[in-house]
Every structure is written in structure tokens, then in C-alpha cells.
Amino acid sequence: MDYTFHWYPAFKLLPKMLVGSITTIEIAFLSMLFGIIIGASLALAKNSDSKILSSFAGAWIEVSRNTPALYQIYMAYFGLGTFGIYVGSFGALLIGITFNNAGYLAETFRGGLRAIPATQMKTARSLGMNYFQAFIYVIFPQLLKTVFHSVTNQTVWAILMTSLGVIVGMNTDLMGVTNELNALSFRTFEYFSLAAVLYYLITKLFLGLAYLLNVKLFRY
Amino acid sequence: MNFVSEFSTNDFLYMLKGLGISISLTLWAVVCGTILGIIFGFIRSGVGALLNFFMGSILDVFRSVPLLIQLILFNALGSILKLGFSPFQVSCIVLSVYTAAYVSEAVRSGILSVPPALLRSARSLGLTYFQTLREIVFPLALRVSFPTWVGITLGVFKDTSLVLWIGIIELLKSSQIIITRTQEPILILSIAGLLYFIVSFGFTRVAKRVEKKWEQYEL
């Protein structure tokens, strides 16, 4: 082997990569936030009696689950331009991941809703609560408990999926920063190893936080 | 807007060729990954807690680092060590290990789902260790792990789109190449999406049918 590893230049660029990590976390967070909101709406739409709503939700769920995440990002990046909407790499990445998250989370929420017996709603209503009170005080806390694990998993997926942004020219997130630095020096192995470690730490940090939250939320 | 498309039959064949590469990558990765995963999962279900934790955390690395980085790193490592792998071989190896990491978890939980009392009663009825494994553990664990395995296979099929980064022309890359020429992104990406959809949706349907068939023999 006539290759010498140069770890020092990689470590010197660690601050830049850390700044990129913050962007990565930001995108993952935003995509999860929008994903949960859209996913919950899709779940309700899929379960609703309206044929139009339920088939729209069904189509969204099937497309997002049966095509690659990268394809969805491509669709946002190349496809939306046809309609005169130019979103840039950041927008395309965010739209793509959000679309994906929403589809997967909708199925999670649907499963969660199915796990709650219908009598819970009826009991709450008969105790004098209106529909929204019953949903917020009775159904929602139980739903949160059943879907917590899946949502955590989906967030890890979202963090890992943000790395796909580099393929559509993203250069501010962890992967994009690393790729750009790599283009200057071609120390591919060293730089990307460091990026891999950072991704690993981000996911583990998040899982640790989720664990603490889990303990705190579901003590009873 | 003009309704005359530049998209030709040859372009479609080119995309089908890309789809073929995606599918063959999936097949290699799933076959090798499943074999490896079963071996790892089987070992992990039988060894002590410490060794299981150790193996688990090593396999967990492949699930906590983006696949794209794994591909880049292994590709770079291949050049550093002068292993002389083609990009296709690199992708197969990385995807196989990635699959194995997921499959081992599914296999382990499948094996652990078999109640120990059932094993003891099988042994006390006179079945040997391997007979118990073949007649009791295997069929029960298979039913538990199979849906997860289907999910993993679909995931790997979709993840093959990432190999375009190390220079393989699979379905998505071939679409991108055609888009560059014809400038009709929506049309071509829709066709690509449809192809992805048909394959994964079809696979899900077949898997569901297999599951249904097995349900007949349930206890």
C-alpha cells in the first residue's frame, strides 16, 4: 500500500463540518415537523369517508413508499421546474424528504389510530367532551405512545436521507460541505470517514434524547 | 408548450436497461445480504448478552451512517488498497453488508419470538437439536421475519438509486441522462417513477400472497 493517510487536514476542517451538521439537523427537523403535520392529515384523510380525500391520501402514501427518496428529490428538483417553480437544492431536498416522511408517517399514524379501541372515543364523548376535547385529552396521548418508536425511527431515516442533497448540488449540509472540501484535496477516505463519524454521532445523540423523552413522557 | 416529444423508443429501452441494472444489484445484495444476515442473526440469537451487544453495535454502524457515505468510503478504500473492484462490485458488496445488518436484526427477533417452552417440548418429544431447528424454529421464525424481510428488500431496491454517485448508470441515472438531452423532466421522471412503482408494488403483492398462503397452515 503506497497511500499515506492524512488525518490532520481533515481534523482541521472539523469546524466547517460541524457547521454543516447544524444544517443537516435543521433540514431533518423541518422535514419531520412538516412530515408529521402532513402525515397526520393524510392519515385522517385516508380514514375519512370522502372518496376524493381518501384516494388522494392513498396515492400519496403509495407513491412515497414505493419510489426511492432520491427519486422524490429529483422530482422536486427537475420536475417542479416544468411548472415554473424553482426551488433550489435546499428546497428540493426539503420537499423530497418531507414528501417521503409524510407518506411513511401517515401509515404509522393509521396503525396507531387502529390500535386505539373505538370505545375510548365513545366513552369520552358520553362523559360530555366534544370531539376535539376527546381527541386531544383521550386519543392523542395514547396515539403518541404507540407511534413514538416509529416516529423516532423515521427521524433517524430523515437524518440519513439529508445526505442525498449532495446529488442535487446541495453544499451547505454535512455531506455537501464534505464533498466540497473533498473536491479541493481528494482526501476522500479521510474526509468521508470523519463525516460518517459525525452522522453516527448525530443519530446516536438523537436516539439518546428520544430515549430520555420516552422515559419522561411515558412514566405511567 | 409543444406536444411533440423527443422521447423515443430507444430512450425507453435505455431506461429499461437501467432498471435491469437496479434489479440485478438488488438481487445480488438481497441474496448475499440475506445469507450473511441469517448467519449473523442465528449467531446473535444464541450467544451471550455481551457478544450479542458487541455484534449488534458493529452491525448498527451500517444503519446509522448514510448509505451514500458507505459507498464512497468503500469505493475510496478499494482504490487505496488497490483491490481493483468495479463500481458494480463495490455497490454489491456495500449493499450486501447493509442488507445483512438489517436482516440479522429481523432473523434474531424471529428466532427469539419462538417460545422456549415449545423448544423444550420438542426436545422432550425426542426431536434432535437439528430437527427442532428445522421443524419448529425455522417455520415459526420465518413467518415472523418474512414481512420485515420484504420491507428490507424493497428498501434495498429503492436504495440502489444511490449507486449513481459512484458511476453506475441505473434507472435514475439513465433518466437523468435522457432529461439532459430531451429537457422533458416531468415525462421522463414519471416513466421512471412508474417503473420503480410497478416493481416494488408488484413485489409487495406477491409477498402478501405468500403470507396469505402460509396463514392456512397456522396453528
pLDDT in tens, A199-218: 999 999 999 999 999 988 88
List all residues 6 or more positions away from A28 whose beta carbon is below 8 Å from its beta carbon: A97, A155, A158, A159, A162
State the fold for domain A7-217.
MetI-like fold (1.10.3720)
pLDDT for B195 equals 95
Counted residue by residue, chain A has a size of 220
pLDDT for A35 equals 96
pLDDT for B4 equals 66
Rounded Cα distance between B206 and B200, Å, is: 10
What does residue B19 show for φ and ψ, rounded to 5 degrees?
-60, -40
A28 touching B (Cβ < 8 Å): no
Rounded Cα distance between A178 and A183, Å, is: 9
| A69: chain B residues, CB-CB within 8 Å | 158
Percentage of the residues of chain A whose pLDDT score is greater than 90: 63
List all residues 6 or more positions away from B26 whose beta carbon is below 8 Å from its beta carbon: B95, B153, B156, B157, B160
Q: Give which of A54, A163, A52, A161 is closest to A106, Cα–Cα.
A: A54
Mean local confidence (pLDDT), B56-82: 92
**Residue A159 pLDDT exceeds 60:** yes
- Which of A74, A170, A187, A199 to substitute to test the interface with B, most B CBs within 10 Å? A74
Overall number of domains in chain B: 1
Q: What is the ipTM of this complex?
A: 0.89
Q: Does a structural domain hold residue B9? A: no
**Structure confidence by residue, pLDDT tens digits, A37-66:** 999 999 989 988 899 999 999 999 999 999
Of the candidates A75, A81, A192, the beta carbon closest to that of B69 is on: A192
| A70: chain B residues, CB-CB within 8 Å | 161-162, 172
Percentage of the residues of chain B whose pLDDT score is greater than 90: 63
Query: Who wins on pLDDT, B67 or A187?
Result: B67
Mean local confidence (pLDDT), B99-120: 92
pLDDT for A28 equals 95
Tell me if A61 sits within 8 A of A1, measured CB to CB. no
Q: Does a structural domain hold residue B99? A: yes
Cell of A134: 376527546
Rounded Cα distance between B209 and B219, Å, is: 19
pLDDT tier, B219 (very low <50, low <70, confident <90, very high otherwise): low
pLDDT for A141 equals 86
**Structure confidence by residue, pLDDT tens digits, B13-51:** 999 999 999 999 999 999 999 999 999 999 988 888 899
Mean local confidence (pLDDT), B178-205: 91
Q: How far is B64 from chain A (nearest CA, A)?
A: 5
Residues 113-152 of A with CB under 8 A from B: none
Mean local confidence (pLDDT), A132-153: 89
pTM of structure? 0.89
pLDDT for A12 equals 85
Q: Does a structural domain hold residue B32? A: yes
List all residues 6 or more positions away from A123 whose beta carbon is below 8 Å from its beta carbon: A138
**Structure confidence by residue, pLDDT tens digits, A171-182:** 899 999 999 998
Q: How far is A204 from chain B (nearest CA, A)?
A: 8
Q: Give which of A166, A168, A198 is closest to A183, Cα–Cα.
A: A166
Q: At residue A173, what is the residue type?
A: D
Query: Who wins on pLDDT, B49 or A152?
Result: A152
Q: Are A78 and B179 a contacting pair at CB < 8 A?
A: yes
| SS3 state at B93 | helix
| A78: chain B residues, CB-CB within 8 Å | 176, 179, 185, 189
Task: Identify the domain containing residue B55 by its residue range.
Answer: 24-170
Mean local confidence (pLDDT), B94-100: 96
Of the candidates B72, B196, B201, the beta carbon closest to that of A188 is on: B72
Other CB atoms closer than 10 Å to residue B4's CB: what's the count? Answer: 5
pLDDT tier, B164 (very low <50, low <70, confident <90, very high otherwise): very high
Q: Does a structural domain hold residue B36? A: yes
Q: In angstroms, how far apart are the furthest CA atoms of chain A?
A: 78
pLDDT tier, A27 (very low <50, low <70, confident <90, very high otherwise): very high
Rounded Cα distance between A203 and A205, Å, is: 5
Q: How far is CA B212 from its chain centroid?
A: 22
**Residue B218 pLDDT exceeds 80:** no
Q: Does a structural domain hold residue B157? A: yes
Of the candidates B67, B76, B192, the beta carbon closest to that of A71 is on: B192
What does residue B4 show for φ and ψ, rounded to 5 degrees?
-90, 120
Of the candidates B72, B193, B196, the beta carbon closest to that of A192 is on: B72
Q: How far is CA A70 from its chain centroid?
A: 13
> What CATH number should be reported for the domain holding residue B163?
1.10.3720.10
Residue found under cell 457478544 = B51
Q: Are B65 and A160 a contacting pair at CB < 8 A?
A: yes
**Residue B83 pLDDT exceeds 90:** no
Residues 101-160 of B with CB under 8 A from A: 154, 158-160
